[in-house]
Amino acid sequence: MRDTPPRWTRYFVRRVERWTTTWTLRLAVLLLVCVTLWLLKPRIEQAIGASLVCTPDAAPSDAILIENFDPDYLLFERARILRSQGLAPRVLVPIRKDERDGGVNRVAQGIAEVMGQIARLGEMEFVPIREVEPISLNAARDVRAYLVARGIRSVTVVTPLFRSRRSAMVYRTVLEPSGVAVYCAPVGSQLAVGTWTQTWHGIQNATEQWLKLQYYRLRVLPSQSAASDGPR
């Protein structure tokens, strides 16, 4: 007969049973997860890619704004198409400032001019912006000053595909409180919402843009909104 410990011992110690999983169950769960991810891979790719892209809503505006952080000829080509369709009469191109004289950087301006000429875009206006972290937010503030000073009340932002949701969020957060309506025109290249995992460059680009989107969404833009709602 099994000895029963004295009743008073329950105030100091107690006996418990513990269940542990076997390596068979762990392996089965791992295989199930892998198979599920493999079956759902197209939907997961689509969902992640779509989360990075703004809703295209290009509309008649006072100006087209080419987001020129990383010069891309396709952006200038898309701007030319939108202008030829009568979307907006003016095209604005942000260019980083030259620290020596406060004007636009001549090299960056020259590159933009060449791409504009090849795209047959026509006349462009260059907007000096600062390259100060967070770059997108401070650039949007410089763009806001330019637009307000010239009475521009609406812009269509031409922006790279996987950057477009973040760009739309930033410009709307900064410009709309000043009465400037913002529309979005995403531009794809070799990357697409459902095929970005097919190349290492696509995976790298999508991962980088997803991380930056979360950083701006959770940290940068809330502080900007709080500052806008504070004393004026």
Please report the pLDDT score of residue 228 as a whole number.
55
pTM above 0.95, yes or no: no
Instruction: With CA atoms as reference, report the closest residue to 162 among 216, 218, 194, 206.
Output: 206
**Is 185:78 a contact under the CB 8 Å cutoff?**
yes
pLDDT of residue 20: 77
Q: Give the per-residue pLDDT at 10.
A: 66
Angle of helix 200-215 versus helix 164-175 axis, rounded to 10? 20
Would you state the pLDDT for residue 3?
A: 60
Q: Which residues of the chain have pLDDT under 70?
A: 1-14, 37-41, 101-102, 189-191, 194, 225-232
Q: Decide: residue 121, CB within 10 A, 0-12 exposed, 13-18 middle, 19+ buried.
A: buried
pLDDT score for 82: 95
Query: What pLDDT is attached to residue 19?
Result: 74
Question: Terminus-to-terminus CA distance in the chain, angstroms?
Answer: 83
**pLDDT given for residue 30 in this prediction:** 83
